[in-house]
Structure 1
Amino acid sequence: PCCLVNFFIHLHHLSVGVCTKKTCATTDFACKNGQCVPARWRCDGEPECADGSDEADAICSKYTNTTTDKQANADRENAMNTKSESRQTCPPEKFDCGGAASKCVSLSWRCDGERDCENGADEDQCAACPSKDFQCRNGKCVAPIFVCDGDDDCGDASDEEKCTAPTCGQHEFRCNDSECIPALWSCDGDPDCKDKSDESMERCSRRTEPQKPRCPVGEFQCRSGECVHMNWKCDGDADCKDKSDEANCPLLTCRPDEFQCGDGSCIHGTKQCNKVHDCPDYSDEAGCVNGLNECADNNGGCSHICRDRRIGYECDCPSGYKLLDKKTCGDIDECENPDVCSQICINYKGDYKCECYEGYEMDPASKTCKAVGKSPYLMFTNRHEIRRIDLLKSEYTQVVPTLKNAVALDVDVSTNKMFWCDLYHQKIYSAYINKASDSSQQVTLIDSLHSPEGLAVDWVHKNIYWTDSGNKSISVATGDGRKRKVLISTELSEPRAIAVDPHQGFMYWSDWGGQAKIEKAGMNGVDRQVLVSEHIEWPNGITLDLSNRRLYWVDSKLHLLSSVDLNGDNRKVLLSSHHHLGHPFALTVFEDHIYWTDLEDETIYSANRLTGHDVAKVAEHLNNPLDLVVFHEQRQPKAPDTCNMGSLPNGGCEYLCLKAPQITDHSPKYTCACADGMELGPDMRRCAIGKLVTATTTSTTVTSTTTPPTTTTSSTSTSAATTLRPTTRGLTTAAPPQTPRITSTEPPRTPAATSTEVTSFSRTSQKSTSTHTPLLVPILATVVIGLLCTGGYLVWRNWRRKNTKSMNFDNPVYRKTTEDDDDEIHIGRHSESIGHVYPAYIYLSPSSLLPTLHPIYLYIVMCSGG
């Protein structure tokens, strides 16, 4: 027995010896206490080993390997060993911060206005503005074209000091405030001068001023021209730019048994101080005191920290812990918070580590990820021009001058091209950025639009997507505009902004109609789904953060800046502010900052995209700043063009090749698409004429003219075939009619080919069956017809007195009559076609109406000479 006991004791010692010896993987670093951490964390300036051995002087002073960027980061930390005589040198593409630490930062961060070196050496001895620029008193640099242009571009007005009144050119109009605009813009119905003097009654009274578009039913037209929802009028929140929706509103008063919230709304009096936030601004719980300190009794039941509140109490936890059941604290995984790191979070016991994606580097001072490469700059539309601001050097330049009403904007970084929509000209343009100031280099891609308000560029497959609120549609076209197609045209009310993700094949858009929402669908138009539909009123701008897989949007009605993931989950409000979000229109995101335009303040703001804090003005005193984008290669990460990866160009598609949504690993990479009115053939690549509506009439010409919101479509059927052809915006004109139009109070007996078709019968199409008769026959027939007409007239007059509804003869030239439209039903017209425009004339053959017309109608037709 003793030997057996000794054997087990010896075995125990052996097992203990084996377990205490831990071997780390080849990719890890073994701490002195046996802990394993990734080798790339060694000598990075932050101790990850519990005993700090990964940052020990003895190790870091000998560790000099510069084969990769991550290893180079570690090499920089070698200099932390002040006792070491050797000093690490930075590679040529890095800037040496100097000093004992000898840290290296990206050379592009030099003189960018941010201290990236701990000693600030990267911002020392920085030159002022380039010689060609004007330097403001506050240090900002602006292009010479902005000096003495009437706008405070510096922010301190130093660019507008000591300026003489400008002299306008021969083809320019001088506003009352001395601003110069193209002469063609004067008296065009659209104020372009800031003081609106180009549209003054004194100047334009003799000219025909175009009628301003009226808002549709259910919307209120502001005095400044915008349209907002009718239920937003007198709601206590100004939505019109001139605040006319809140003018002449009755004062809201609550009943004696109600409590009035701070925003003016009313709740029942019993809901005040009931420990529930019933008012939107929580004012019903303000000032309520119950006098009880729950934390005094058994710490309120909290396991760690109990905090007494004015109403009730709450449990809290120390750093590194979280509440598990509202009272008990447990260990926390910091990486569960998606905003704890700029990009990548790696959790390990007791702490976490932040890292960056490829193309970004960790800023040693701010511990945030910053993009490497060229300086990023912000491009934005300023109504009559497109400008850009260098986000690192604060250089302010003009890209495109003399535009009428630039609204939407996007870029293709790889080709250095820009695209924009002009709402006045109703077109989409493109140009190379370095040549865009020359109007001869600006190419018209898409025309004949209605209200193009959103634009997005597929930088991988070289297509463009846009929204049209007038057409209520979302369309796609090739980058040269030669091939285009409407992708979505149903269940859209007021589509506004659009963004695309060519990597995963999805597009996203906002719709601020009666049922406001944010939706997404495949870039080929399939798999449509709603992402956000609750607590959303006026979603203007949206943007995507592809690195962190989130969507951001601004709500101009609720004054919110919010975000969700790309599945519509994990919603978060970043900023709620009437001051900074008075009327936001568009936004974009880059690195750890989010930028947006505000129409009310005419300012571009920025804030931290993770917290919503650190709100700052980027540019102010603008003129209707609308869309904006960041131009940098990291905003458009590269991906393979799936339509041109194989041997067949354009994926073998005859017309459009569109990226398909990557729903699963087995999803198609792309699908082919055809022009409107066409459909894919059996091979799903070539296009054929779509299924056509056929008419049942014989030897007839079926013509219909419909008026959708943007274009007039004419459909002509010959030999039972229909061809769709877009026409001009104006109404279709026709030759003068030869017979008056006859209306009937009876519905048509024969079905029409479509609900918008009007069947016209031509005399020339009817075959004559008459035969030769004696001369006496026509004479007798004339007498008989005369008697019938006389009798018919007497019968008709008697019938007219007894009936409430009357026959109505429409003169084909003067279409308007004194009769109500509801009292007449046109031959060949269905009730659902009301509202469409029909041809101005119809040929009717009396013999063709014999089966359908009442005898009295026939007498009238014959007597009228028809």
Structure 2
Amino acid sequence: MGHLGRIVLLLAPHFWLHIRGAAAHSLPACNQQLEFRCNDGSCVSRLNACDGHVHCADGSDEHHCGHSRCGKDEFTCRSRRCLSTNLLCNAVDDCGDGSDEVSCNNCSTGTFSCGPTEACLLANKICDGQNDCKDGRDEAWVLCGSVQASPQSSSACAASEFQCGDGACIRHAWRCDHSPDCPDGSDEENCDISDQDECRDNNGGCSHYCLDKPIGFLCRCPDDMKLVEDSRCEEVDVCLDSDLCDQLCIHRNGSLTCECQEGYHMDPLTRECKAKGNEAQLVFSSSKGIQVKNLINTEYKVLVPHLPGPGPVAVLASNLTVYWAQQGRGSIYRTSAAENPKEAVLVLKVQGLVSGLAVDWIHQLLYWTSVEAGSINAALLDGSLQRQLITGLDRPSAVAVDPLQGFLFWAQCGNTPKIERVNQDGHDRMALVTGLIRQPVALSLDMPRRLLYWFDQGMRSISRINMEGQHRKIVVESNGYLDRMFGLAVFEGFLYWGDEATHSICRANKLNGRNLQVLMSNVTLSGDMVIVHSVLQPKGASACGRPETVCQHECVVDLMSERSQFNCDSQQTTPNQPQIPSISRSVPPSTLSDPTFAGILCLIIFLSMLLVGMASWWWREELRPSRSFTLQSFSFKESQNPLITQGPPVDPNTTLVKETLIRPDLDCVAAPTVS
């Protein structure tokens, strides 16, 4: 038996290498475009390869990186190219692979980034002869040319606007209209020149045709377009202009046909689209707690009483889970409307005052706006992971999400009020509403018509646009029940909202604001409201963070990366393919989810224990009387976090950088949004 033991010990290393090699071949393939495969088979982000820090356990991500390293004042591109740090975050892809713009501040339209660690700069500070960025990039020759512009020539006005002598911006069409619109009256200067042709200067700011007149000018549009905001032409949409249909509108041979989306049926008498299934519920927060009301009758119940104060509300319709935030506190709770007794569960402790909540029912994410931090944030619905998505906002007040199209919407009501849209993966940020807007404090989506509604506290009106920012229309204006709104929702053919001034919950026709009805009176100190029905959160194929992209297999959501990432687990994507992607389960570095590899790993452990046991038995057989032993068994537990993909280990000493808090404007967040 002693010879047999020696043979086993001699063959064990070769057997172990063979098994290890087989296991390496069974590892799941890394994404070649996004990941680097270490020599031990694990995957790390390609951004971490050859960055001077070891991320692979075996250090292979820093091997074969070449002898040359970028200098102290240089940035290493993903392609290993060295780039001057002055070219970082200048909104230009200097690396050629976009890596020099990945970690930059998300500066809004009309602003300029001074770099990854500096604030955004107003556009009128660019090329004004003064260095406002620490590295002087705002006055660089490549940006400003050989001759530096004067402060007056550095215009922050849009192409359709005229810049006054004091820098203010007004519409071009207001120039020389015999009515001073600039604070300094400069728009009415030099208007007596008979041969002056304003159309020669940037086409008068007109998007299409400019018609010069003896005094002033006019913008004109082609026959199939209409003029909006005095200078911009947009295509005519017969369906939206007529506003005859609740949902689907078909324009054919000069006539319109109305139809209903799946999940609805058309009322034969009123021709309105009605939701199938259970009756819709109205959920709202008030000083009495979280309350639920049936839309058909006057019955209502209190889910969670004695809240410290009303706040924003969102609901996951599939299991009737209600999420809400405490007013003035950084806490987000949840409760179930389908279970008894109702218990409030703390989900998240967050930074600052929460002004809006929204639920992504496809990817199981929770979005909220933080006033003090000036950010839009996301977290898993169980609260296990949270992160900032968009920063640098001026008092964000509302958020809404359409995961079927891959869009995230938000409103801000600070010094530059606006409504913006971005893909859920953080790309293609777009300003939808920037003019004729004062204090947007509530958003809601009409998904069948692909419209976005908002309430403007300053203008006391509810307006809508399509998801591209076109076909704007004021639907409801101040009517005695629209002075201080809390909550906004769209369901079937109606707009629903609450009015804190009259302590009521109302509704009106979503097409024209008619048929005003008061559904509830004496609602005390309400904070937010949302309508719950399965048709408002339909099942479907996720856009996987970006429009026109549907995964063939799984949509993987990663909140741990530098930017929120939505990726297909296959390199191939198919636009508009009717498949429902699933969310991949997370796998920490110490756990492997591939079934084949798991089996091999168990076999390796079993054989290793067997070899150790045989060696121990042989040794004891040689030196002392034999003793029995017990072979221990091992089990591997799969991670319960469904949205985090495998990534490099997180340094436990790393801390999140907190932004400077500002004193919140309560008027800005008095009417939170609804998802």
Q: Could you state the TM-score of these two structures normalised by the residue count of structure 1?
A: 0.38
Which structure has the higher relative contact order (CA within 8 Å, separation 6+)?
2
User: Could you say which structure has the larger radius of gyration?
Assistant: 1
